[in-house]
Structures are given as C-alpha cells and as structure tokens.
Chains A and B, each alone.
Chain A
Amino acid sequence: MAIITISRGSLSGGRRVAECLCDRLDCPCLADEVLQNAARKLEVSEGAVRGKFETAPGLWSRLSRERERYVLAVQTALAEACTEGDLVYHGLAGQFLLRGLPAVLRVRLIAPLEMRIGALRAADREMSRQAAEDFIRNVDRDRERRVRSMYGLDVEDPALYDLTVNLRSLSLDAACAAIAEAAAQPAFRIGETERARHQAFAAECRQRLEESLSGD
C-alpha cells in the first residue's frame, strides 16, 4: 500500500483510473480537496490557486514570490494528507510536490490523441473534431510549458515516474489492476520510518509556508 500520484494529460481517463484504484485499495481519493485546503490556508478562492497552476507563468509572477507561495500552500496541503496514510492523488503536479518522499508511487497515464479527442467529443457533442484536437493540443502545450518553467523538467519524461501506463491497448480496469500491483510492492509500503519521514516533510512544509506568509 502506498501513496499514489497520478499525472495525466487532460481527458486521458485519469479520474476513472484513480477512482478505480481507490475502490480497489479502499483509500481516499484526492484532487480538488487539496486545492481547497490550500486556498483556505491562503485565504483565497480555489479558482485563484488553480489558476496559478494551470496557466504558464507570466513575466511578473516569475519574478514575484506569489506563485511560489501558492505552490508551497498546495504542497503543504498534500503533505498533510499524506501523513494520514494511503491515498491516491490525481490532482496537479503530484510527482513534483512529493519529490524525494519515500513510498510514493508516481504514475503517468497517457492515451493516444484519437482516444482523447473521442472522450472530449463524447462529453461535448457540439464540438468539432478539429476544435477538440486544437483544445487538447493547447492544454498539453500549456502544461508542458508550465512544468518546464516551474521545474525545468519535461512532463512527458518517463524517468520522472515509476510507471508510465498507456491506455491505447490497456483497458482502464487492467491499468488499475497493474498500478495496484505496483503499489503492493515492498518498495512502497508505508512503515514506521516512512511515516516519520512523511510527518517530518509535512512539518517542514508547514513551517516554510508560515515563514512565507509572515514574510510580507
């Protein structure tokens, strides 16, 4: 059992795989809740926090420390959630926020463009094929740029993840089963030492956030 972070392109079926995993492993399934918690800490709206993550940083915010603080808030909220034990996080940037932490299974879900276009058009029947394709490409490009500017890394690089799962021929159920199997490996078991590390990490994040908040 483990802490599982799922990173995905939009409409790659990540939410459904995450839900399947939570059912199977009987653990909490987090995404937006972490953002809400972070927003509460910062006393801003959830949309404002999400906005900081979902747009590529402008010149101003690159210079200011505002974005850093938002990231720190989300990191703290997530780290606190981790101290509770097993969980599946399929929100933003999990693999980066929990970098260096033990017993974290970092998963990336990818799906062929065609499949994602199909999913988008199934959700919005008005949308033309071309519009759907453009939308997905735009979102991907934004995310890629953002990750590059914030972390200096390529979001697609499989070296950032323990598992990269392609849904082109694997069904959601099979993907879910495979990920659960990986999570069951001894490397991801949360024992006493791991729990202590998680708690220390959460405490450290909290402290840095407080420093940052009082710094103004």
Chain B
Amino acid sequence: MALVLASLVMLALLPAALGAQEGTGATAAAAAADPAWWFWPLVLFGMTFVMGILAAVGGVGGGVLFVPIVSGFCPFHLDFVRCTGLLVALCGALAAGPGFLRMNLASLRLAMPVAMIASACAIAGAMVGLALPTNVVQTLLGAAILGIVALMMRARKSAFPVVPRADRLSQILRIHGVYMEASLNQEVDWKIHRTATGLLLFIGIGFMAGMFGLGAGWANVPVLNLVFGAPLKVSVATSKFLLSITDTSAAWVYLNEGCVIPMMVVPSLVGIMLGSFIGVRILRVAKPSFVRWIVIVLLLFAGGKAITKGLGLPFIV
C-alpha cells in the first residue's frame, strides 16, 4: 500500500521535474524545439496533482504553491498564471465552504465584515497587479513568498485563545459563536476582540491576495486566531470560507481583463482536486510534519526563482 502510493507520487512528480527542465531548455533554446501543444497542459496537470497532495497533507493552500512554482518553472505568462491560481484557490474554497458552514465551524457573521474589506482590497490589488510591469510583480511575488515561509516557520497558534471581553465593535456586529467540541463534550462559546485592528490587517491581506493571485490562508488564519482571538478550529474554517469571497472579487477583475486560458485553468483545477483527493488518503500513511518541510523547501526555491526571474538574474534552474 505504502509502496504503491510512493510510486504514485513519484510518477506524478516525474512530468513536473521533466517539465521544469524542459521549460528552461525550451525558453533558452530556439522556438524550433517547442514541444507539442499538449505538453505543457499535461505538465501543469502533473504539477498541480502533486500540489494537491502536498496541500492536503501539509495544510498549505494550493494557491500559495501554484503561482510561484508555475510562474517560475513554466513558460506561461504571469498574468495567466495569477488568474489560474486565483481560480484554483477559489474552487478549493468553494468546495470546502458548504461543509464548514453547516458544521458551524466557519462563521458567516465573522466572515462577512472581514470579507467586505478584503474583497474590496483584492479588487484594488488585482488592478494594481495587472497595471504594474510583469517583472516588478514577479519580484514582489518572490519577496512575498519568502515572507510567507518566514511566517509559516515561526507560526505560533493557539487552540483556544483567551478573549477576556468582546470589544465594542464586535458586540455591535454581534460576532460570536458556538460550536460542538467533542473533546470537552460541550459546546464552546467564542467571542472576539481587537476587531478594528484585525479588519485593518485584512486591507493588506486582501490586496496581496488580489495582486499575486495567491490564496491567503497563510495570513487569514494567524489574524483570525491571534488578533481576533477566534478558536483555531473556527479560524481555519472561516479562513477557507473567506477565500471563496476574496478570490471571487479578484477573479472577476482578471476575467474581465481576459486573462483566462481554459487549457490552463481546467487541467490545473482537475489536477489539484484529484491530488487533494489522493492527499487526504495519503494523510493516513505519511506524516504531515515531513510534508511541511517539503513545502517549505519548495516555497523557498520558488520564491528565490521568482525574485531572480523578476530581476533578470541567473538561477539554478
């Protein structure tokens, strides 16, 4: 069983690795050596399949992996990659949303004010991102990715943050909730504080999500958990739900700009969904901590690649 899965992962990695190599070969060498039209979509499918697995096992949103890796190692233009990344993150969020909402893990009341701010800023971010020269966006993307890695490595989470008193704003908005906690065999009541600070932070988060086409789970969860003080479970689920709103607004901007190439979008979507389907099963046999390290190394690599590509410097691959 373990061996089968391992070889499956290897098989999926193979085209990605091949693709990364041929990608630089193809761009560096003459266009005469161009592979057939189906080559890159297939590579994309393989890469996203692996990303789906990593996302599921390592708990890192597919969007965060998708944009830096695909833009770094495939010939696709960053404009299309960002849009595809947004759509990938959007679909993942849409798919998880109903379950989280029904289980009352994602909170609509918490998400709505946050989403209003984040989605407005995501639109602005998307517009700025499309107006800026590509190499600037690519460099900024690299810097953002490295920042995300730093955040992931020192992330400190709090299962049940202590919120002594709900603040005025959250009381006016009546943001509080309750969910069933099996371990305590009781319902956990939660409330939030520092609402204004948190909402301000979402201006930046929304902007970055729109600009780079990244999902923003890496930023949503810490802010919801550590600033607002929502329980970790609620933060994780609400963050996912939030993505479905933020990414929708940014996606429309990209859509209206015509950044959609279906031959990129659909293989990516199908790849990542199949990957996460397999990934959830792999979770039964592989350790998340190990995968977390793979993801961090991958992101460091992709971040470095994005910076060097943006600045026109040489890089290993």
Direct contact between A and B in the complex (CB less than 8 angstroms)?
no
B residues neighboring A (CB under 8 Å): none
